């Protein structure tokens, strides 16, 4: 019972440490699983700056950071990992500070020298994630019902989405422009919002404004000069082939017509159009039926021997006959009798 109680205490301690904002951590791929991990040296400095968290451990609160980490390792609350890429890539001066791919280290002992530790337990889901999971289907249904919205709501959604898209494009363009100018002029790689295009990043890391420290080698002046000339040539080429006012006006009208068609579409108009087509179709069928009936009546009341009938009338003693062969046979029989 005492061991189980201690296990519960260290579980609570691990959850508090993981949820604390001052412990720097990242996300990586460990054996095809996305895990959250931290560095050993950050764990030691974190407990040094926040000794009050050790009060949860009760009798074990006086243990050193290394001893606490080793207990967490034995209880499988954390696992020691190592970077997959262990060699410096071409163009880099040192290994990545936060690798994106990890593997389990063979010796599960705590170390603060280039050691990484991943949390093994599932963290409690925040309230905003629960609300997002609830509202996501509602948002999907609302997007599907966009065609039936009132005109003013459609305009509001259109302007909001267009403004958001324009903001993202301007942000990416400004970010690339600042990087290109600073790289050509001073040879520094400065990316504002460095994680905005990252595949594995938390919401906090995604909107991090300050750039990362440049760890790559300084580019050669010949390469910077070459890309500067290429940039100038591209700008001159785009300026020379820029569309005139008439072409821009035509394109604007075309886009405006497309937007108007989307905004002014109404399911009631579509249904009325379908009903009108159905009415026209039914009317056409009725006229065809009347015409066919008239032709059938005409055939029935047409007199034999009429020019419209298309058959020749042959007079015999037994009455009119329409078949020529039958009339000839009757005449032969009469001649034989005589």
* Distance between CA atoms of residues 315 and 21, nearest Å: 117
Is residue 38 helix, strand or coil?
strand
Query: Is the confidence at residue 166, as pLDDT, over 90?
Result: yes
Give pLDDT, residue 270.
58
Element (H, E) at 330: helix 324-337
Higher pLDDT, 77 or 266: 77
The Cα 206–Cα 199 span in angstroms is: 10
Between CA 37 and CA 174 the distance in angstroms is 32
Q: Whose CA is closest to 53, among 35, 65, 40?
A: 65
Q: Is residue 40 within 8 Å of 111, Cβ to Cβ?
A: yes
Which one is predicted more confidently, 265 or 196?
A: 196
Q: Cα–Cα distance between 174 and 193 in angstroms, integer?
A: 11
C-alpha angle 70-72-73 in degrees, rounded to nearest 5: 60
DSSP code string of 226-260: HHHHHHHHHHHHHHHT---HHHHHHHHHHHHHHHH
How many residues are present in the chain?
338
pLDDT at 297: 43
Mean pLDDT for 7-28 is 87
pLDDT band for position 5 (cuts 50, 70, 90)? very low
- Residues 48/65, Cβ–Cβ less than 8 Å: yes
102 has a pLDDT exceeding 90: yes
3-state secondary structure of 314: strand
Reduce the DSSP state of residue 337 to 3 states and report it: helix
Q: Cβ distance 212 to 194 under 8 Å?
A: yes
217-248 per-position pLDDT tens digit = 777 888 888 988 998 999 889 888 887 888 87
State yes or no: pLDDT of 70 exceeds 90. Answer: yes
Q: How confident is the model at residue 82 (pLDDT cuts 50, 70, 90)?
A: very high
Q: What pTM does this model have?
A: 0.47
Question: Can you read off the two tokens belonging to residue 122?
Answer: 């599932």
Rounded mean pLDDT of 39-59?
Answer: 90
3-state helix, strand, coil in the chain (%, to 5): 60, 10, 30
Average pLDDT over every residue of 133-150: 87
Model pLDDT, residue 165: 92
79 φ, ψ (degrees, to nearest 5): -140, 135
For the record, the structure tokens of 126 come out as 């925040």
CA pseudo-torsion sign 272, 275, 277, 280: negative
Q: What angle, 0 to 180 degrees and rounded to 10, lies between the N-to-C axes of helices 245-264 and 151-186?
A: 140
Query: Average per-residue pLDDT in the chain?
Result: 77
Label residue 279 by pLDDT band (50, 70, 90): low
CA angle 282/285/288 to nearest 5° reads 155
pLDDT digits (tens, 9 = 90+) for 290-329: 455 544 444 444 444 444 444 555 555 555 554 555 555 5
Q: Are 182 and 211 in contact (CB under 8 A)?
A: no
């Amino acid at each position: 019972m005492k061991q189980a109680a201690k296990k519960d205490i260290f579980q609570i301690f691990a959850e508090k440490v993981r949820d604390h904002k001052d412990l720097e951590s990242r996300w990586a791929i460990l054996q095809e699983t996305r895990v959250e991990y931290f560095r050993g040296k950050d764990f030691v400095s974190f407990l040094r700056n926040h000794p009050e968290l050790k009060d949860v451990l009760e009798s074990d609160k006086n243990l050193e950071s290394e001893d606490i980490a080793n207990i967490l390792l034995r209880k499988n609350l954390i696992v020691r990992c190592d970077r997959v890429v262990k060699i410096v890539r071409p163009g880099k001066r040192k290994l990545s500070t936060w690798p994106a791919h990890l593997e389990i280290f063979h010796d599960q002992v705590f170390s603060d020298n280039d050691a990484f530790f991943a949390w093994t337990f599932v963290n409690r889901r925040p309230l905003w994630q629960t609300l997002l999971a609830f509202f996501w289907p509602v948002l999907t249904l609302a997007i599907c019902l966009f065609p039936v919205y009132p005109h003013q709501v459609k305009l509001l959604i259109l302007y909001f989405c267009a403004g958001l898209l324009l903001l993202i494009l301007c942000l990416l363009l400004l970010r690339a422009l600042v990087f290109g100018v600073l790289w050509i002029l001073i040879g520094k790689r400065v990316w504002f919002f460095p994680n905005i295009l990252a595949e594995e990043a938390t919401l906090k890391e995604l909107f991090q404004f300050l750039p990362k420290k440049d760890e790559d080698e300084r580019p050669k002046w010949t390469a910077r000069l070459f890309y500067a000339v290429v940039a100038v040539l591209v700008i001159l080429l785009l300026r020379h082939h820029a569309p005139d006012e008439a072409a821009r006006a035509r394109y604007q009208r075309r886009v405006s017509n497309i937007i108007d068609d989307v905004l002014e579409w109404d399911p009631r108009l579509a249904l009325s159009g379908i009903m009108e087509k159905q009415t026209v179709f039914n009317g056409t069928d009725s006229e065809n039926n009347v015409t066919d009936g008239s032709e059938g009546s005409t055939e029935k009341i047409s007199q034999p021997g009429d020019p419209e009938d298309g058959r020749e009338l042959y007079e015999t003693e037994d009455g009119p006959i329409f078949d020529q062969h039958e009339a000839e046979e009757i005449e032969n029989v009469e001649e034989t009798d005589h």
